[in-house]
Amino acid sequence: MTRDDLAAMYLDALPYAPYPVQEDALLAWFTHKEGVLVCAPTGTGKTLIAEAVLFEALHLNKVAYYTTPLIALTEQKFRELQDTVVRWGFSPDQVGLVTGNRKVNPDAPIKVVVAEILLNRLLTPTEFDFNQTHGVVMDEFHSFNDPERGVVWELSLSMLPKHVRLMLLSATVGNSIEFLGWLRKNHGRTLQLIQGTERKIPLSHNWVGDQLLAEQLEWMQEGEEERRKTPTLVFCFNRNECWSIAEQLKGKRLLSDGQQKALAARLDEWNWKVGAGPKLKQLLMRGVGVHHAGMLPKYRRRVEELFQQKLLSVCLCTETLAAGINLPARSVVLTTLLKGPPGKKKLVDASSAHQMFGRAGRPQFDTEGYVYAMAHEDDVKIARWKEQYDQIPEDTKDPNLIRAKKKLKKKMPTRRANMQYWNEEQFEKLISAPPLNLVSKGEFPWRLLAYLLLHSPDVEGLREQVKKRLLDQKQVETSLKRLHRMLLILRTGGFVELQPEPPEKFSPVQRVWDIPPEAIAERDNIAPPVTPPDEQVEEDAFGLGVLEDEIPDDDPPAESEQPQVEVPEEEPEPQPQMGSFGALLQQALSDADHDEKPKKSPQGASQMDSGKEEAEEQPYVPVTAAPTGELNTLLEFRTCNPIYATFLLDHLGIASLSERI
């Protein structure tokens, strides 16, 4: 069977005629040898393009991977693709799911996985054979720009065998041609570019400065179905806000005739007794759903199902839902344009905003999608006051109107001093913002670095990966320095052995400690023995004193009572209680790792002397980093910095009871 035959079969199996961008992408996939990069706005039907890869693999009895950045999106794609392959005449068991949480049909030829699963398999070729793999789809490929996880997509691209064909599906990006040039030059892979700029369903962007959110949603629900702006997705930037706003919508007119009866019948089919189920069920009965990653997967799936069946008028959700999860809505509402911790919020980036905008407009139901950005409630109150105040002429002679105007002026609302606000101009900037460029983001995470070293101690291989990144030369040099620093931290903590040996100041520290007598005494509620001064431990503990400099003593000893310590002339003065690993650990936890700042010369030192010192001190460059038995420990920690977690574990063993509490 030729590829032309497969292309004709796939087009015949489509439920509707493809859009122009879909047609171009399908033609490119079935004619180009290595693959295709599809850049198009959200809502242009990229899933139909991706399914061609899976269709071809099934008919060739080959394997195909479909990767996504989110577990929730992976779960949804798994269910959708099972239905799709049944339509093609295959068993749903031909589609498998593998995430960090669960596996379903893991040996199926079509594997729907989160991005990290693909990378883990590429890193273990002895366990996972890619010889039978025909193609890989990387959905939401703009995740390449993710500051923390983007390196996962980057490494997967570099390690994928050359015979595996590739389909990258991305939102619109600004440097697609430059990216493909980098991919060809550094990774030997040539892809064809397909770009789409227009949505099938146009969007209408609207600033709402005179309505509160509940009022706006009630207005959107009014009238006949053709006039309504629901179903709508209301985007919030934290989970608690989703629940809070949903509670505020209780009692609002958000249901159409017969909707609540149909809802009640569907809700009675499920068990709602676990976790947030009882609270969620009450909200759903009022036509309001909540959807975020902190919910049980079964509750998320139920909300998705009810929303798709048009039984919910409103769904409060976080921005992760904008990352490809299929909940098509007629409109979207942004409750704010700012994101971040209180007092430090920043305007949401344009790429995320466009992802959220793109959720509006359903091709099978709508001719237009609607985007609404809400003003802050304080600004709404000010706008309403101003409208009322301006209705009374300034030059009125009517004493009653004069009194009313003075009374209104005394009640003029104002903005709060400690509150951050946004405005219509910022909304317009987001609408017109150009697409972001694809660039390498983030460094090797500690767990990933440990994983790579367990498979090969060769440091040159790691450096080659850094040099091939989509960075300018200065950024590459900075990344190489950080890699070497990370290896020194691992060596100092006893996780690896470096060759050649690094300078003495990076010597390994003690990692195994007996429980101190005072800790045992405190545990057994007896008086602790006194340790003679000459028997006190002199060695640096693993990470000892890493936080000591932030907790000063209540009564520091007098200057004359402080012991005199001999300090070599050329060595910097050591910090009190700071082990060498503790000093490096602070670097591991510091954001400053990402920025190389030139060190200032000491006062009084000439520029010439400073230059000599710099010339004498050559940077340490390791050749190999052989893992010790401790390196596997770093793979056990997923939700925190594994270096810091190991430091805490070690110190729990030597801490007193009060310190542990």
* Coil vs helix vs strand at 587: helix
Q: How would residue 490 be classed by pLDDT, with cut points 50, 70 and 90?
A: very high
8-state DSSP, 396: -
Domain boundaries, the chain: 3-195, 203-376+419-432, 380-410, 443-554+569-597+618-661
* Helix 350-357 and helix 424-432, axial crossing angle in degrees, nearest 10: 90
May I ask the CATH class of domain 3-195? alpha beta
Residue 322 has pLDDT above 50, yes or no: yes
Q: What is the pLDDT of residue 582?
A: 55
Q: How far apart are CA 115 and CA 286, in angstroms?
A: 37
Q: How far apart are CA 661 and CA 656, in angstroms?
A: 9
Average pLDDT over residues 73-83: 94
User: Per-residue pLDDT tens for 159-200?
Assistant: 999 999 999 999 888 899 999 999 999 999 999 999 988 788
Domain 203-376+419-432: CATH superfamily, name plus number? P-loop containing nucleotide triphosphate hydrolases (3.40.50.300)
Q: How many other C-beta atoms lie within 10 A of the C-beta of residue 652? A: 10
User: Per-residue pLDDT tens for 624-648?
Assistant: 999 999 998 888 886 678 888 888 8
User: Per-residue pLDDT tens for 255-280?
Assistant: 988 899 999 999 999 999 999 999 99
DSSP H or E run through 626:
strand 624-627
Among the ranges given (54-68, 202-216, 561-575), the one the predictor scored with the smallest mean pLDDT:
561-575
Please indicate whether the domains covering 3-195 and 203-376+419-432 agree at the CATH topology level: yes
8-state DSSP, 329: B
DSSP notation for 162-181: TTSEEEEEES--S-HHHHHH
User: Per-residue pLDDT tens for 492-550?
Assistant: 888 999 999 988 766 666 555 455 565 555 555 554 455 444 444 333 444 433 333 33
Q: How far apart are CA 92 and CA 289, in angstroms?
A: 29
Q: What is the pLDDT of residue 370?
A: 97
Neighbour-count burial of 67, counting CB atoms closer than 10 A to its CB (0-12 exposed, 13-18 middle, 19+ buried): buried
Q: How far apart are CA 47 and CA 81, in angstroms?
A: 10
341, 249, 238: which is closest to 286 by C-alpha? 249
Q: How far apart are CA 475 and CA 53, in angstroms?
A: 36
Residue 284 has pLDDT above 50, yes or no: yes
Average pLDDT over residues 14-34: 92
Q: How would residue 148 be classed by pLDDT, with cut points 50, 70 and 90?
A: confident
Provide the total of helices (H) and of strands (E) in the chain, helices listed first: 24, 18
Do the beta carbons of residue 242 and residue 316 sit within 8 Å? yes
Contacts of 412 (CB under 8 A, 6+ apart): 382, 385, 389
Do the beta carbons of residue 53 and residue 135 sit within 8 Å? yes
Q: How far apart are CA 116 and CA 453, in angstroms?
A: 17
* Coil vs helix vs strand at 333: strand
Nearest-10 Cα torsion for 154, 157, 158, 160: 150
Instruction: State the SS3 of 487-521.
Output: HHHHHHCCCEEEECCCCHHHCCCECCCCCCHHHHH
